Structure 1
Amino acid sequence: MMQRIELPEVERAVHGLRLRGHALYLQPRGRPPLGFLAHARGARPVLPERTVATAATIALLESAQPRALRRAAPLSASWGQSFALGSLRLTVHPAGHVLGSAQLRCQADGLDLVYAADIGGAGTRASSTAEPREQLTCETLVIRALYGSPRYVFAPREELLERARAFVEKTRSEGRTPVLIAAALGAAQDLVKHLGERGLVLRLHAAVYRACQVYVAQGVALPGFARLDEEGDAVLVPPTVRLDRLRLGETRICALSGRALDGPLPGDEAIPLSDHAGFDELLEYALRSGARHVLAIEGHADELARALRGKGVQAMALREHHQLDLPGI
């Protein structure tokens, strides 16, 4: 007899992932009346009419997307302080992904759900510029599985940052310009901090420079960064930049991304530096949450859900268009 599977407390709706029976979108797309923004990285140019986010996320959006933010009526949420929104009680907790990144606890009659969104690493894999990730417990856990495949297990962050420093030093000794390619939020600030504390000044693309200014205003110490047209020891740009337009002379390029575990990336060297938790950390987080139901979304959701079911947890993968990956079906 097939085991009966309970449907989750979330659903795919016209504007993204929504709490079933409530107006709150956890992963909003377009402009719904109410949505939660877990972090500022990759934020869409159109935000919900009312957007729940942390103060740091709002500050980063104000710097990068001021027009979108002005139309969003942001609702600033403080760490660990519950507040009511309609019939829901909501609380944000640090996710450890980038500065201001948050997990959202949603409580109501019969509902105890944590939307963990994009959690970062912990312990030796934790970011030095994001708030330390909190481990939450709940009845239902919704977690993004970007690196939810067993092949994504990352080395300690210090080791990877040291590899970036060695790349910079070696390239400079050859008389060439070191170019680091990394996400404008998260990896970029960890690189600025690690290399800056070792006497190296990074010349930053405008998007990275603005983000670093917000980090500093939020109390994160970031020594050793300058504008792209100023003096420095290495250049740091996001992946979207066309390097041929920067006129940097003779360069060596190092790409920093968790995708480096998939194989070579464009450039001379690749380092698997990720702001997201790897497979083993996602698995451990879900198990330690004590959740009776786990819903894995996006990325390698199928593989993470399968691994959790192997540990005795009722887990499912939610795909686009309302499709659920149910065991036995």
Structure 2
Amino acid sequence: MTPHRSRQHPEVAVREAVAADLVEAAQIYQSAAMTLHEVLRLRNPWSSEDARAIDLREAIGALSDLSATPSGKVIVAETGNELTGVAAVRIRGRHAHIAFLFVLPAWQGKGVGGQLLARLREIIDAAGASVVTLVASRDPRAWQRYLRFGLHPGPPVMSMRARKPRFPDLVPGDGLESVPIERDRADVLEAVDRLDREIAGVSRLPEIARWLEHGAEGTLLRDRVTDRPVGFFIVSVHADHGRIGPVVSRTVTRFPDVLSRALQMAGRHERDVVWRVDLPSANHVAIGPLLDAGFSPHNLMPWFANGEIGRWDRYIFRDEDTL
């Protein structure tokens, strides 16, 4: 791919990232994020060396996942032999979600972020996506850039955490039948895909298969009377954290039952980890069950978009970068 060069800053080239770039790209993210927290005097989530190592490992994993899947694209800004910025987008059909956009502190204010956004726009336009979303930092300078990009602020994304959750017991009277989501069950995957298209607004079967390959567990829930799919969920447990999501329900009224089943599955894991849930603010029915299970708000993240995608009132994200 021919590097995309700026007329104002010809020394900076934007190109597609390769595997050897990803660690340095993740370090750019962490350096920029830590500096922003210091400038804005926000709570520092990297107060210990262990916390920084975990965060960096997760960023490397997220960038690796984005670069390894057909729906993802990672680009970097390069000056000489130094990477100065990183951006990434995940495109599913008409939906493009910008997952990373960070510039080294020493290079901020010099047009690098604008060049990365310009290249992202080219990628998004070439893919034919029309709805663009992102979860933003709290940097007003970045907000101005997103507004110029054509995005508008919307209800924020809430991140919740639980160190020692109180997972619910199975309620036998919910009328739901559990069917494991497995990579060799084409009928189950097809039902999951239909729910995803209906509620999330996109198809992401390759990503779901990848999550399952990496150890995630999933369940499709059917109505025992009608045999109609009601929803599905995926639970993942890593060395230092567990994640509940996505959680998808066909109706708002059934969402608490689907979430309860997801919490029950999480409760079967005995590993002592911090559990995470990221949900759109439109999903009001998830908050009560999560509070009852011992989850508490961890962060409220600004959301920008140029249109609507998905039915977020009955949905929990995989995470803030994946949706």
TM-score when scaled to structure 1? 0.29
The structure with the greater share of residues assigned to helix is: 2
Which gives a bigger RCO, structure 1 or 2 (Cα 8 Å, sep 6+)? Answer: 2
TM-score when scaled to structure 2? 0.30
